[in-house]
Structure formats: C-alpha cells, structure tokens
Amino acid sequence: MPVLRVALDLPLHRLFDYVAAEASPADVGRRVRVPFGRGEKIGVIVEVVAESDWPLAQLKEAGEILCDTAPLPDDFFALCAFASHYYQAALGEVILQALPGGLKRMAAPTRRNVRAPAPLAPKPAPELTTEQASAVAAVDPAGGFAVHLLHGVTGSGKTEVYLRLIDKALLAGRQVLLLVPEINLTPQLEERVRSRFVEAHVVSLHSELAEAARERNWRAAFSGEASIVLGTRLAIFTPMPRLGLIVIDEEHDPSFKQQDGMRYSARDIGVFRARQLGIPILLGSATPSLESWANARGGRYGMISLAQRANPEATLPTVRMVDTRRKTLKEGVSDPLIAAIRQRLERGEQSLVFLNRRGYAPVLACPACGWVSRCTRCAANMVLHLADRRLRCHHCGCEHRVPKACPTCGNQDIHPFGRGTQRLEGWLQEQFPEARVLRVDRDSVKSRKQWEAVLERIHGGEADILVGTQMLAKGHDFPKLTLVGVLGADSALFSADWRAPERLFAQLMQVAGRAGRAELKGEVLIQTEYPDHPLYAALVAHDYPGYAATLLKEREQAGFPPYSFQAMLRAEAPAMADAIAFLKAASLLPPVQEHEQVMIYDPIPMKMARLANLERGQLLAESFSRPALQAFLPRWREAIESIKAPSKLRWHIEVDPFEF
C-alpha cells in the first residue's frame, strides 16, 4: 500500500508517514487531511513511497487528498528545503507557513464572487532621465541570473525604473514579484502599478488582507493568471509558474526579516530564488544594507546608481544641525525649528516633525517615591496614551487604566516624563492654533482605509503640520512638504547594538528625503547635542557611500558581519536561571568542541530580558566561514534537542540575527 510522507505545520524536524490506498506519485505537492493526536490537520504530501521505516500496521490512514489546486511545484519545494536547511526551521513549518490561511483550514471557507476593481485611467510613462534609462538598460529580464543593487538617492525615480523593468518582463510573457517592506506602502504602489498596466492582472499579498482575499490572490499568482504580485516579506515564497523578475524595494528595511516562527530574511531568500530560477533580482534603496553594499563593492552584485532626483526642478534638501546643548527647548522643540515651521505656514507649505516614539509620554512617574509605570510582564516601561487614558506596553500589549494616584505612596501629583507623538501633536496645535496638525502613527492609522484617508488629506493640502513616526519616513511623495524636523535622534548614537548607527543613518536619510521632492526647496533640521558626530556630517553631505565605507571598516576591524557569520541560540523560561543553564549546557555539547572554526560565546540575558512573563537569554555562535557555520548548525541543533530542559522552556536558533 502506498505510503505518504506528509509535512505538518509543527516545529519538528521530521515528516509523518500515513497509508493511502488511492495515492500515487502524482499527488506529491497536494494538501491532505490526516489524523494527528485526537484531531486532524492539513498537511502537504512531500513524497509517495512504497515502504515506511515504521511497520505498516502502526501507520494511520490518511484522509481526503485535496485536489482543488494543482500540486505545489518542484521549485517551491526546493525553495522551502533551502530555507529549512539554512535557517534551521522544520520543513513542515516552512511549507505550511508559505500557504495562505484558507488552504490550511479543515473546513473550506465560503467563497463568494468578487467584483473586479474599477478600471483606472491609464497613465502615460514619464520621460526617463539619462540615469534612469541606463538603469533600465542594465537589467535584462531574459539575461539569466544576476543580482543588481539599485542605489538611488531619495526622489531619484527608483519606482519608475521598477515599472519599466516590469514592462520588459511582461512583454516577454513573464510574471513579476515586487516586494515592499511595509503594508502601508502597498495601496499607493498598487494604484500606481494598476494605472500603468491596465491590461495586466495585479494582485497584492500581505497580512492585512482578509483570509478569502489573500487566498484568492495567492491562487491567481500560483495559476499564472496574475502577472504582477505586490507583497510583503511572506510573498517571497509564493509559487509563480512564469516568474521572470524579482524586485525588492527598500531592501535594507528590517521589516524584511521575520522575527518569529521561521526567522528568515525575505531579501536573502529572494536572491536564492532568483539564482534557483535563473532570473534577475533588483534590490533598491537609498541606503542599502551594508551586506548588500559590500557585495556590490566586491563585485558579487552589479551596482546601478541614481545620483540625481528625477524631477529636474527638485534638488536634495539642505540638512542642518540644530545644536541643542545651550538652547532651551519647548516640549522638546527648539526655537529654530519653531521659526522654520512658521515660515512654511506663511508660505502655504507643509512641515513634518519626526519623532519615532508614539503615545503621549514614554513613562508615567511619581516624583515623591520614584515609582514609574513599569510593565509587570516585561523589562520595559508602560507608555502613557493620554487620549484614551491608558498605560500600554508596546512590547507585549498589556495595558491598564491611568491611576489617579501613585500606586505605591498615594501621591496624586504623578507626571508624564518625556514625550511621544500625542503630546507633541497637542503642543503644536496650541503653538500654531491656525494650523491643521495631523498625527500619523500606528495609534491613529490602524487600517488600510484609514491610511488611504490620511494620504488623501495630505495630498489634498488638508494638513499643514505632520507629526509622524517611521510610518512617514519612506516611500511617500508629498509635493508641498518642504520642511522636516527631527527630534530625539541622539538616543541611538551610542547604543550597545552595533547595528544601531546603520539603522539610524538609514532612517534619517529616508525621512530627510521626504522634503523638497518637487520644485519647492527642501530643508531638514536635526536637533542634536552632538552636531559634530560623523553620522550627522555624512547626512549633511548626503554621503551614503562615505559613511558606509566608514562603518564597513569598523566592522572589519571588529570582526562583525558581513566579515563574519552569526547564529543566535535563544531560550525563554519563567526563570532566567533555567534559560541560562540551558544555554550553558548547549555551549558544552560535543559539536561545539568538534568545530574549531566556530566560536561560542558565554550565555547572557537578552537586551529585553523579560517579555510577556518569560525571562530570555541568548548564546552567540560565530564563524569567519559561512560553510563552516552551516555545517555546524544542524549537528548542534540535533544535540540541543537531546538536552533535558524544564517543560516550560522554549528555544530557537536564529541565523543571521538582526536584533540583539
């Protein structure tokens, strides 16, 4: 009797065997209902074999083999196998995570006919600049595998390059996968793509879609019906039979790194997939990741540069430092920034005040006894959200009502300390009562409809002063926005995280790029107590290559990536002693002694040592050889699985960790 090898969505590095009388090799890649424990699960058939390693009498019988879709293709399985091996994730976890939720449910969801989106009026393609034309010519969708890094300053027209390359791929009868880091970038990009390619079937794939819509779009991509797929990181696994080009916009963005479940980098998976299929991939950014920049400088990636803004009337904004060491700030805002905002109001232009800290204040505290609003479940403070009178932890979601008095000493004179976007919004409205102040953060914009309404207000000139977090820092084009003021940037300058300078520079460069994107001149004011810091000097000069060279030299001297390769073993348990003891045991396992090219450091608590009532520790494994590290990790993982740990302890291995 045929035996099915089935992958299930479980963190177990094994497949499960079931007997199925009617199965055949043609069923490989189909979904199947199988009994598991006291219930049933949906799995994917990976292999059909004649014999099992287990006695047939011990095997359960598989249920219905689902034939409502074509079998998943071989290249999809090869991609999942690579991700499973490289990121030390269970194969079943990878395969099932890549499928839309509707295909993993035991009961098929009710499907209804969906009205096609209203056709958009076609928009003609603008004339390319000389740099853009050279960039389009450098990428040949029919030329086989190649990785191209498109380094373009903000406003240089990278999106137009993407659209021209998409056109070339469509004319060749191929599909295109275009990834963006954030869901809020998808609606406006989708509209722009639809209006350019009115005859093409365009679908989007991201977590904000309803389950039925996501499944419908996934099926359209899988069948080849959809020619263009716009998505966030998980879309990189979408099977597409005619895929001919992959484009990853803002390739440096941390959002492309999955931080739970299977921890993978969509950018790196994209490069592997392009090589697997023999197609080109384009990585675009104004501030590329140092890993991509080093690969381009070393010749592994092709380098394409856009050094000028696409609009001939637009120039890069002037960046100035506001030295706050000897200035009295009003709610964190300096007099030069206040004066600059007032000038824009008089000229009918828009300003953006950037503060990457939502809520009213970072903490509520009692000056009498020193009580602060710490989260009881995390090693973090609860943020004051005054609008709804709540204290909220931004890490675990725990929240409480704002106390009327200090819980410790009863003092009624408790105060908010520091400031967030809510507090800044209120103060700016008081300072400029005639202005229309609009706050844009994850508290004020929670859905796609709200985001579209906010963008419409900004583009329609219904907002004079924007108060925003990183939601407004990238990918947006507001013609009337001529001033960007940055508050609170210094806190990342001296972080213990060695990636912090790279992230800060990218964030400030991106938010500065929102100013002066049309014929109006732009200005950026950055408040700082360290105006002579090299990072700020590079920002003033718009010198990403120079600052990247400095950071790469520092990393080479320190032996940090991209000059070394890392994996992090993390453990979480109700008690820190249990987590550290588990990590210590892992550091003494035989594979550690047998792989001399891999260094294992001492176990330590994570920076966020407590999260959601669990204490967290980590253990770093590092090597100057990627093959050596990859050879070590599977043996180490298998040995770790043999450690007897407390029942409530959980652990995982993260390859190429992004956060420490």
* CATH node for 3-103: 3.40.1440.60
Tokens encoding 616: 């967290």
CA distance 618 to 447: 35
Are 32 and 62 in contact by the 8 Å Cβ rule? The answer is: yes
Q: Which pairing describes strands 390-392 and 39-49: parallel, antiparallel, or unpaired?
A: unpaired
Is the N-terminal amide bond of 657 cis, ω within 30° of 0?
no
Token couple for 394: 């931004």
Average pLDDT per consecutive 10 residues, the chain (660 residues; last block may be shorter): 94 95 94 95 96 92 94 98 97 96 79 62 87 97 95 94 97 97 78 92 91 94 97 96 97 93 95 98 97 97 95 90 93 96 96 94 94 95 92 94 94 93 96 96 85 89 94 82 94 87 94 87 96 96 96 96 97 98 97 95 96 96 97 97 95 92
Dist CA 267 CA 48 (whole Å): 33
H or E segment at 454?
helix 448-459
Gap between the Cα atoms of 36 and 42, Å rounded: 10
pLDDT of residue 372: 95
Q: Which long-range contacts (CB under 8 A, 24 or more apart) does 57-61 make?
A: 59/3, 59/17, 59/18, 59/19, 60/18, 60/19, 60/34, 60/35, 61/18, 61/19, 61/20, 61/35
Single out the residue of 4, 54, 53, 7 nearest to residue 24, CA to CA.
Answer: 4
Given a contact cutoff of 8 angstroms between Cβ atoms, the answer to whether 332 and 357 are in contact is no
- In angstroms, rounded to a whole number, what is the distance separating the alpha carbons of residues 618 and 602? 9
Q: H or E element: which one contains 235? A: none
Query: Identical fold at 130-306 and 318-359+419-552?
Result: yes
How many Å is the maximal CA-CA distance in the chain?
A: 84
Distances (CA, A) of 629 to 91, 279, 642: 20, 28, 20
**3-class SS of residue 399:** strand
The predicted pLDDT at position 118 comes to 64
User: What are the domain boundaries of the chain?
Assistant: 3-103, 130-306, 318-359+419-552, 565-655
Whether the CA torsion 315, 317, 319, 320 is positive or negative: it is positive
Does domain 318-359+419-552 sit in CATH 1.10.760.10? no
- 455's CB contacts (< 8 A; 6+ apart) are 187, 188, 476
> CB of 220 within 8 A of CB of 212?
no
Please tell me the distance from the alpha carbon of residue 98 to that of residue 205, in angstroms, as a whole number: 11
The torsion defined by the Cα of 32, 33, 35 and 40, in degrees rounded to 10, comes to: 140
Q: How many CB atoms lie within 10 A of CB 435?
A: 17
Classify 21 as helix, strand or coil.
coil
Query: Please, what CATH class does the domain formed by 130-306 belong to?
Result: alpha beta
Cα separations in angstroms, 246 against 161, 250, 283, 429, 578: 13, 13, 9, 44, 44
Measured between alpha carbons, how far is residue 130 from residues 31, 135, 161, 478 in Å? 50, 9, 12, 24
CATH class assigned to 565-655: alpha beta
Helix, strand, or coil here: 264? coil
